[in-house]
Amino acid sequence: MRDRWIAEEWFWYQSNPSLTSQLPTIPLEDALEAIEARRHGIAPYVAQQNQSGEGRFFETIADLTDDDSATTEIEDLGGVTDLIDD
């Protein structure tokens, strides 16, 4: 619903400690290589992105609440095409 690739931003999400203790630790070098490979793989799509007004509106609502709440808010409004300017 954000209608764009999130490629140049980084967010910290706190994980559930009981779940993460069961996962293997990834060496830093392997993690950095995986991130770089993913960035390289999506680069053509990121370069072509053109976020719509509805995508910007959803992203704003999602940043204020969370993605699930944003979807509910937009549904409750009956869509947002009349509330945004492209």
Q: How many domains does the chain have?
A: 1
Residue 28's pLDDT band, with cuts at 50, 70 and 90, is very high
Q: Which pLDDT score, from 0 to 100, does residue 68 have?
A: 64
- Kindly tell me if the per-residue pLDDT of 86 is higher than 60: no
Separation between Cα atoms, residue 34 and residue 86, nearest integer Å: 36
Please give the Cα distance from 2 to 58 (Å, whole number).
6
Give the mean pLDDT of the chain.
76
The pLDDT, as a whole number, for residue 24 is 80
Position 72 in a domain: yes
Q: What percent of the chain has pLDDT over 90?
A: 13
The residue range of the domain holding 71 is: 51-86
CA distance 58 to 26: 34
Output 36 or 76, whichever has higher pLDDT.
36
Where helices occur in the chain by DSSP H, the ranges are 17-20, 28-48, 53-64, 67-76
Q: How confident is the model at residue 44 (pLDDT cuts 50, 70, 90)?
A: confident
